[in-house]
Amino acid sequence: MLGFFWWIIIGLVAGLLARFLVPGNQPMGWLLTIALGLVGSVLGGFISSVVFGTDPRDPGFQASGLVMSTVGAVIMLGLYLAFNKRTAARL
């Protein structure tokens, strides 16, 4: 159960860092920010395993994990904003 709370905390931190690093207005609330961070963590873990050869199943908190989670969240936020802008332009 404690692992679930760590996922939420890391997702929130990575999502907030991504929103801080990407300029502009991001129309999303807390839950979407947490989801952004969680999906970014998965993407960052995948990128880390491909580029650096790390094992994504390695347990434990690492600063590099938070960095890659934030990198993944920035990528996902960019995709979200591009999709959201295109969708809003059609309306």
Q: So what's the pLDDT on residue 60?
A: 59
pLDDT at 16 > cutoff 70: yes
Give residue limits of the domains in the chain.
11-21+29-90
pLDDT at 90 > cutoff 70: no
Helices (H), 22-62: 30-52
- Residue 66, SS3? helix
54-78 per-position pLDDT tens digit: 666 666 556 567 888 899 999 999 9
Q: So what's the pLDDT on residue 21?
A: 94
Residue 41: pLDDT band by 50, 70, 90 thresholds?
confident
